[in-house]
Structure 1
Amino acid sequence: MSKPESATLDGEVTEEADEETFTGTGLNRVEDRRILTGRAEYIHDVTPEACRSMGLLRTTHAFADIVDIDTSAAEDHPDCDLVLTAEDIAEEYNPMPCGLDEMSEWALARETVRFVGEPVALVVASDRYVVEDLIDRIDVEYETREPVTDPVEARQDGTLVHEDLGTNVPDGERLTFGDVDAAFEDADNVLENQYSWGRISGVPLETAGVVAEYDEETDSFEIDCNIQLHTLVDDTIYEPLGYDPDDVALNVPPDVGGSYGTKIAIHRYCTLAAMASQQLDGRPVKYVEDRIENLQGGDMHSSDREYMMRLAYDDDGTIRGLDVNFVDDFGAYPRYPVNQVLKPLSVVSNAYDVDHVRYNYELVLTNKTAQTAYRGFGVDPHLYALETAVDEAAYDLSMDPYEFRHRNLVQPDQMPYKLPTKNIYDSGDFPEALSRIRDLVENEERTEGGLLDPELVEERRADGKYRGVSYTVHIEPGVSGADWTDRQRSDREELADREMDDVDELPEHLRCELRADGTVRASLATDSSGQGHQTLVKQLLADELEVLPSDIDVDYLDSVEAPTEYGSAASRMAVMLSGAAEGLGERLRNNLEGLAARHWAVDRDEVTYSDGGVEREDGDERLTRADLAAIDAETDGDRLTYAEYDYEHPALDVEAFGEAFTGKYPVYPTAAFAANAPIVEVDAETGQVDVLKIYSLRDCGTQLNPTIVEGQAHGGLAQGIGAALLEEFPYDDSGQPKAVTLFDYLLPSTKNIPEMHLEHTETPSPFTATGAKGTGEGGMIDGPASVATAVNRALEPLDIVADRIPITPDRLRRKLREQ
């Protein structure tokens, strides 16, 4: 595979042969045909013969002690197969792993319930209708407690969510890079303001689902489910069951109806269904989460933060220092993973060149449903708070926010750029991107008939409608390493003594075999949530093996067949699959050359793999792939038509990342970026915000499939608009969730997703096999901050800043009334 022109670490430009390849073309996704024709099979479609249905009794109390559970009426019903409570499962099984070593959690609430929707008992019967009736027969006596709902107040430990912990702040860290105190003392100005990010999530079309079956003969479990990262988080299932990983096989189908991180934490359901099947002597048990369960207590909420941002800057607009402080409300349990509080370190100053940074977080427990990962993994609230602070600093200096931002951007001659927090930006021209997006909007929209036509803007303002646009650049960190993600479980005092030999990374595994007809079957060890992995592998391997994509089929391995690896998260897979496909292709080509040489009884250097087959250098003979498969089938010994490859994390080979690796700081070796310009209109009478159009210039290095890149951008920006204006899981003071249906939790639709004008540039990464950068979280990472700063710009005449996400009409109206 030819590598595109790219900048090396020493700044030299290399230019390699320009070859026609499938990689880099907008090949239609092979996944789409079966999805659009209704042939895709989801977990909800899986119902084995004699399968039983499971349901859960969930508490309606935010905080209460369980005095008594009477299950007799349900158990006495002739249609009841099984009822289990926490005390029942505690006799044979273990608690689930938690995000911190000091804590544990049972799959069913034991002694105390800590959030509305927490499961208290499970019921199994012939179908879900019967199950729901039996659940109503269970009587639970509670002694209620006063819940903890305000994360800032929770830090005072007045009422403890977990009394045995002795605190509501089980984790936190204060990290200082550079001389922050001196930077703030010497700066001409210091801004200090609070910003809030409301609790949101992905709300995938397909809710959590599991079908579990225990095999008495082998004493093992077969579990079909739509969990994300099935080889990485399988410990959250086999450990509660008390089994070895090889005895619990997780199968994830090729098609999953969305996740965005939210299905990483569905292990509770997998565990309970497996326990139920074992108790029923191996009968399969199925559980499908309904929408209310998903929204109320589905363990899928994400970041819920209160920020105090401090910015030090001079009168000329130069940023001198950054001091980030935030409280993150993790609900009742810090579930896997809790590392979204640390990921922002990888982009701590966004696209700005800032040397002095302090970063302080507190992980707080409250009586709310546990939070987990969501697309962006904690970077999106950080960028929102930072960019809003930048707006306010620019206003303080009476400076155009564009000029303020442009003055502080990392310059292209600084690439690769090392942040004070030890991560590295690989490549990019941020000033050019920001200038380009501004020029585009000014030329297209600030003219007669445009959305920002000065006369039109004034006319709309006279009617109480305020229009504005903001120009911002945002970094999307890509290709996370795994080693840093247990920093919270580490003895931090010992981190200074770590060496690279102590770093333990997870490679990307890919394998393939040549079949009798000459086609290739490739197998992914990573599950998918709709990103198009099968299409990418077809493109990448087709180029490596010099065949057509149609000659390659791609399937998935279960958690027993596949090695443990990081998986599909953190804008990771395009880069990792590129490296894995490159290594796998070379290995299979070498195998086939060796097979042909042995068959012809010639030296290896007398044969060459070319155009999908092997030929002799003298040109006398050629073996097709089918020929090679037939020869291999008749040969004793190792099969040479089979190959596998493990691609190591690309940053391991870059010495400059050593400080980040050994210090267990977030390592993200690719820096995709976007320069955005949303045009918004705010109705001062109602507080309604409409996004009229979005201009976005996006760069993810080499585009492996432009069609997929474009789709990721459109979808991500739609999620970003939802986060900025619509979505939130609020709670009242009694701990009751206020968004338990899709009438309450508002999702973006065609009514509020505007026209998007997208442009793409390519600054290839010097760290990756193809020059590609991760782009799976783009749009959601940059969209909310972009929309919020555009709202700030629109309301600048009214001296109003959007200091809380989502920017709902009632919040804006409250601010307008206060003017």
Structure 2
Amino acid sequence: MIMAATEVGPRIEPDRLVRGKGQFLDDVKLPGMCHAAFVRSPHAHARITRIVTDEALRIGGALAVLTPEDLLPYVRAVRPGEPAVSTFSRGYNRYPLPVDTVTFSGEPVAMVVAESRYIAEDMLDAIQVDYEPLPAVLDVAHSLAADAPRIQPDLSDNILFYRHFGEGDVDRALEAADFVIDQTFYFPRQTAVPIETRGVIAAFEPAWNRFTIWSSTQTPHPARTIFANVLGVTEGDVRVIAPDIGGSFGIKGTGYPEAIALAFLARRLQRPIKWVEDRREHLLACAHAHEQQIQVTVAVQGDGTIPAIRSKVLVDQGSHALGPVGAGLEPMTTGQSIVGPYRVAHYDCEAYGLLTNKCPQGPYRGVGTLQGIFVIERVMDTIAERLGLDPAEVRRRNLIQPHEFPYPTPAGRLYDSGNYPEALERVLRLADYDRLRQRQAEARAEGQYLGIGVVCFVEHTSTGSPDYRKRGAVGMPAFDAATVRMDAHGNVDVKVSACSSGQGHERVFAKLAAAELGIAAERVRVVQGDTAMTPFGSGSTVSRSAVSTGGALNLALQDLKSKLFQLARFFLDTDAELELSDGQVIVKHNPDRQVPLAQVAGAAYNRSQEITLPETFEPGLEFTRTFDPPHQVFGNGAHIAVVRVDPETARVQVEQYYIVEDCGTILDHEVVEGQVQGGVAQGIGNAIFEELTYDDAGQLITASLMDYLVPYATDIPVMQAEHMETPSPFTFNGVKGVGEAGTVGAYAAVPSAVADALRPLGVEVTGLPVSPQRLWEWIRRCHQSEVSNANPSSS
């Protein structure tokens, strides 16, 4: 079965999925389809000395084995550190299967294909791979050491990305400060854990000399480019189809080696091949994220304001950079985010992307921004404690004011618009903040540990080509596109480069088109996720769809309206201003004069008997437009988390949660509400539970959901939210992205609340997760310190 792109009406999509009527990748069945599995390295770093496949190929139902030696002569290398300016990022050759050395535990070494997945798994057990173990690099300090083993032989060291940036005189500001805060923060390795894991089906059609690849990807067109480049064919020889996607959060927006291996063997076997990773593979080898060490030195004045910050961001990149963005994504985003929504005149940052023998890191919801906002918000709380001020008051004194926009930050960003003080005041009112503090005092008097975390944040959305170039990345497909076609009956197809993984794109884009054209949303069909049917664009990353795809759609709709009005003038014989409403083209100041939209549309296809169009009038009603955001646009907000901590069990319970969020002009309030609340839930999981942990040999010891903990529904509180709308001057209708806002706020608010709860015990929160195990260790350490101080002779 050749499955077309997702084509649904505006309100069908959520109902269809709830009823179990979605079609995900694993639902796709093709004639003659066989199944793949991967031999994965048990070592973090080792040289491959021999691969023996004879026994595996003797198993009944076995079809093929693909080794690096089989693949190497026929595919091209990718350059994961590129495209980028050489002074910022460094490229090296990577092949779909490692040529001679494995660089992380779980890296695919060979692929098997069989009539069923069960037989393929038996084949894995029959393959013998001999390794010569090599020393492994497992943390950023070792990675930077002069004697550290080189992970990529093409490079002279393990620094894959480096950039030094900022402005102002930080040294002078530090000398003049009333006091200085020096702090180091640690962030764990995490991953997205979508309900649907990665999957690929690769088929080759000899009659057309064309690959058709089904992939659970949020970026179909860039994925097609990668396939074509590595396989050595033209992009026209590759069709990528993204069916319904069961969540992504960024990790399905990068290129993975398994997909190339499937496509290669599908052409050789002349049969479709399917691979869907199991949960262990997902935790081992799908993109990891977030592992960083950040050192900051902060100048503080006596009134609590911050004139200067110096930072050093060390990102554990893992063993490879994942394209197309490369290794600069996390270090640069974090470095630019540390100043937060605050006035900081002087800033200096060194940002590193460092290779280690772990699974590669890639984009995951809130990438980089999470850590930057966590750091500045913990600094704000430290200032408040040092000066005896309320945490909200310290933020008031530092926030950028509304009249200062557009606001250039010393980290190289231009904040477009916002009212940061109003967001803070509104969340304080929403939470009844004074009463919360009173409740906290009462709880402490009773020996209870109640904490309140106040957080203000700003987050970038919709990165376009100009901002990528500023960060050193060139050649990025940072625009999006939309095609609008109205048929002769007034029905509309909207084809977009965006690809939904649950965000409700179909509903939003259908509503947008219907409102602009004055028709019912049921007359609009949204088409996405198929490179053969949709215009080229970057896809759905960096919270960009409303801005970039929505911007392109708006431009295409304006073109369509303009042509409809030209046609309508032949019927109405007027030069007066026209408008579209209720399926009619209407003379704006004389509503009695109107013509049915379907009649006008029919004329574009030479179906009208009432008028004859001039020979110079081009028939048809189809327009394609692109939009490349000229600037990043910045959503913002303020969150308050209320938590209770049991010091005996170190269990954290988030009891209340309050949100004020500003994503510019809102296109669909229900979709925005869902995005924000879902993001908060994910941020709570990141803050309290989730941590990918390696042992001293580089083995992942959290390779199941019994060890890598995610929150239950019972861990998520009822949330109260309000929404502000501060339009951006750089986008159509003033829209901004919203996909990551909830996570960014919660990632900082929950730990801040935990720190506030445990302040009487002297616990200092400088890293995540604030899990029961880690909190118990911190509480015990503080208790032992108190005993030691009280009884010096006992130490």
Q: Common fold, TM-score beyond 0.5?
A: yes
Deviation sequence 1:314-356 (CA, Å, 0-9, x none): 1221111011112101111011233122124554411111111
Matched, 1:818 2:781: yes
2:645 to 682, 691, 695: 682
Equivalent position SS for 1:363:
strand
What is the aligned counterpart of 2:246 among 241, 246, 257?
A: 257
Q: Does 1:485 align with 2:460?
A: no
Matched, 1:550 2:538: no
Residues 1:734 and 2:697 aligned together: yes
Does the Cα contact within 8 Å between 1:229 and 1:526 map onto a contact in 2? yes
CA distance in 2, matches of 1:767, 1:487: 17
Deviates more, 1:204-213 or 1:264-273: 264-273
Structure 1 residue 396: Cα displacement: 2.5
The 1:540/1:315 distance shift into structure 2, 3 A limit, reads same
Structure-1 residue corresponding to 2:768: 805
Cα-to-partner distance string for 1:96-138 (whole Å, 9 max, x where unaligned): 3413452121211221111111111111111100111111111
Superposed, 1:740-759 pairs within 5 Å as 740-759=703-722
Residue equivalent to 1:332: 319
Residue 638 of structure 1 and its aligned partner are, at CA, apart by 8.3
Q: Which amino acid aligns with 1:121?
A: A
* Equivalent position amino acid for 1:668 in 2: Q
User: What residue is the counterpart of 1:494 in the other structure?
Assistant: none
| Pair 1:291 & 2:279 matched | yes
Q: Distance in 1 between matches of 2:724 and 2:358?
A: 43
Q: Is the 8 A contact 2:226 2:255 kept in 1?
A: no
The structural deviation recorded for 1:484 is 3.7
Match for residue 109 of structure 1 among 95, 98, 121: 98
Per the TM alignment, residue 778 of structure 1 is displaced from its structure 2 partner at its CA by: 0.9
Q: CA deviation at 1:643?
A: 2.3
Deviation at 1:171, TM superposition (A): 1.8
SS of corresponding position for 1:349: coil
- Are residues 673 and 627 of structure 1, via their aligned partners in 2, closer, same or farther at CA, if it must alter by over 3 Å? closer
Q: Which residue of 2 aligns with 1:13?
A: none
Residue type of the alignment partner of 2:276: V
Change (3 A) 1:532 1:633: farther
The structure-2 alpha-carbon separation of the partners of 1:800 and 1:447, relative to structure 1 and needing over 3 Å to count, comes to: closer
- What is the aligned partner in structure 2 of residue 230 from structure 1? 220
CA gap 1:604/1:506 in 2 versus in 1, 3 angstroms: farther
Match of 1:15 in 2: none
1-structure distance, mates of 2:479, 2:171: 40
Q: 2:289 aligns with which of 295, 302, 314?
A: 302
Q: Are residues 354 and 30 of structure 1, via their aligned partners in 2, closer, same or farther at CA, if it must alter by over 3 Å? A: farther
Per the alignment, do residues 630 and 45 of structure 1 end up closer, same or farther by CA in structure 2, a change over 3 Å counting? farther
Aligned to 1:142: 131
2: CA distance, partners of 1:580 / 1:343: 26
User: What is the distance in 1 between the residues matched to 2:700 and 2:477?
Assistant: 39
Residue 175 (structure 1) aligns with: 165
Q: Does 1:366 align with 2:356?
A: yes
Matched with 2:115 is 126
Provide the rounded CA distance (Å) in 1 between the counterparts of 2:648 and 2:125: 47
Q: 1:489 to 1:583 in 2, by over 3 A?
A: closer
Per the alignment, residue 632 of structure 2 pairs with 668
Relative distance call for 1:121 and 1:487 in structure 2 (3 A) is farther
1:640-685, CA deviations, whole angstroms, 9 ceiling, x for partnerless residues? Answer: 443223243343xxxxxxxxxxxxxxx422x221211100112222
In the alignment, residue 442 of structure 2 is paired with which amino acid? Answer: E
* 2:298 aligned partner: 311
Note the alpha carbon deviations across 1:215-234, whole angstroms, 9 max, x for none: 22332211111112222343
Partner of 1:693: 656
Counterpart Cα distance in 2 of 1:68 and 1:753: 50
| 3-state DSSP of counterpart to 2:427 | helix
The answer as to whether partners of 2:755 and 2:764 remain within 8 angstroms in 1 is: yes
Gaps of 5+ in 2: 1-8, 83-89, 608-612, 783-795
Name 2:192's counterpart in structure 1.
202
Q: Distance in 1 between matches of 2:661 and 2:488?
A: 43
Aligned match for 1:454, one of 414, 433, 441: 441
Matched, 1:534 2:506: yes
Distance 1:754 1:488 in 2: 38
How far the C-alpha of 1:266 sits from its partner, in A, is: 4.6
Alignment of 1:71 onto 2:53 = yes
Structure 1 stretch displaced more, 139-148 or 614-623: 614-623
What is the rounded CA distance, in whole Å, between the counterparts of 2:433 and 2:208 in structure 1? 70
* 1:400 matched residue in structure 2: 390
Q: Tell me by how many angstroms 1:596 deviates.
A: 4.7
Counterparts in 2 of 1:440-589, with a 5 A limit? 440-442=430-432, 445-446=435-436, 452=439, 454-459=441-446, 461=447, 465-485=448-468, 506-556=478-528, 558-589=530-561
Residues of 1 paired with 2:285 and 2:669: CA distance? 37
1:159 aligns with 2:149: yes
2:599 is equivalent to residue 622 of structure 1: no
Q: How far has the Cα of 1:184 moved from its partner?
A: 1.1
1:220 to 210, 234, 255: 210
| Matched position secondary structure for 1:446 | helix
- Equivalent in 755, 780, 794 of residue 757 of structure 2: 794
Q: 1:193 to 1:29 in 2, by over 3 A?
A: farther
- For 1:696, give the aligned amino acid: I
Aligned to 1:91: 73
Deviations 1:405-425 (A, max 9, x none): 211111122122221233222
- Which is further off, 134-143 or 569-578? 569-578
**1:77 deviation in Å?**
3.0
Letter in 2 for 1:545: L
In structure 2, do the counterparts of structure 1 residues 637 and 525 end up closer, same or farther at CA, with 3 Å as the change threshold? farther
**Aligned counterparts of 1:89 and 1:352: Cα–Cα separation in 2:** 52
Q: CA deviation at 1:50?
A: 0.8
* C-alpha separation in 2, matches of 1:608 and 1:367: 64
SS in 2 for 1:232: helix
Retained in 1: the 8 A contact 2:637–2:659?
yes
* 1:59 paired residue among 25, 38, 41: 41
Q: Name the SS of the counterpart of 2:214 in structure 1.
A: strand
2:14 equivalent among 32, 35, 41: 32
Match of residue 391, structure 1, among 338, 356, 381: 381
SS of 1:469's partner is strand
Give how far 1:504 is off: 8.4
Cα distance, 1:609 vs structure 2 = 5.3
Change (3 A) 1:638 1:365: farther
Q: 1:262 to 1:181 in 2, by over 3 A?
A: same
Please give the TM-score of this superposition, normalised by the length of structure 2: 0.90
Q: For residues 94 and 441 of structure 1, do their structure 2 counterparts lie closer, same or farther at Cα, with a shift above 3 Å needed? A: same
Residue of structure 2 in register with 1:656 after alignment: none
**SS class of match (1:420):** coil
Change (3 A) 1:151 1:805: same
Judged with a 3 Å threshold, the aligned counterparts in structure 2 of structure 1 residues 214 and 760 are, in CA distance, closer, same or farther, namely same
Q: Can you list the C-alpha shifts for 1:497-526, whole angstroms capped at 9, x where unaligned?
A: xxxxxx987433111222344311111122
Secondary structure (helix, strand or coil) at the match of 2:111 reads strand
> Are the aligned partners of 1:198 and 1:304 in contact in 2 as well (CA < 8 Å)?
yes
- Correspondence for 2:676: 713
The farther-off stretch of 707-716 and 637-646 is 637-646
Contact 1:717 1:783 in 2 (8 A): yes
Amino acid at match of 1:327: L
Q: Which amino acid aligns with 1:130?
A: I
> Is the Cα contact below 8 Å between 1:476 and 1:775 reproduced in 2?
no
Query: Is contact 2:37–2:121 with CA below 8 Å preserved after alignment?
Result: yes
CA distance change for structure 1 residues 597 and 369 in 2, over 3 Å: closer, same or farther?
A: same
User: In the TM superposition, what is the alpha-carbon distance from 1:156 to its structure 2 partner?
Assistant: 0.5
What's the RMSD between the two structures over aligned residues?
Answer: 2.5
The residue type paired with residue 628 of structure 1 is A
For 1:736 and 1:190, how far apart are their aligned partners in 2? 40
How far apart in 1 are the matches of 2:149 and 2:181? Answer: 33
Tell me by how many angstroms 1:710 deviates. Answer: 0.7
TM-score by length of 1: 0.87
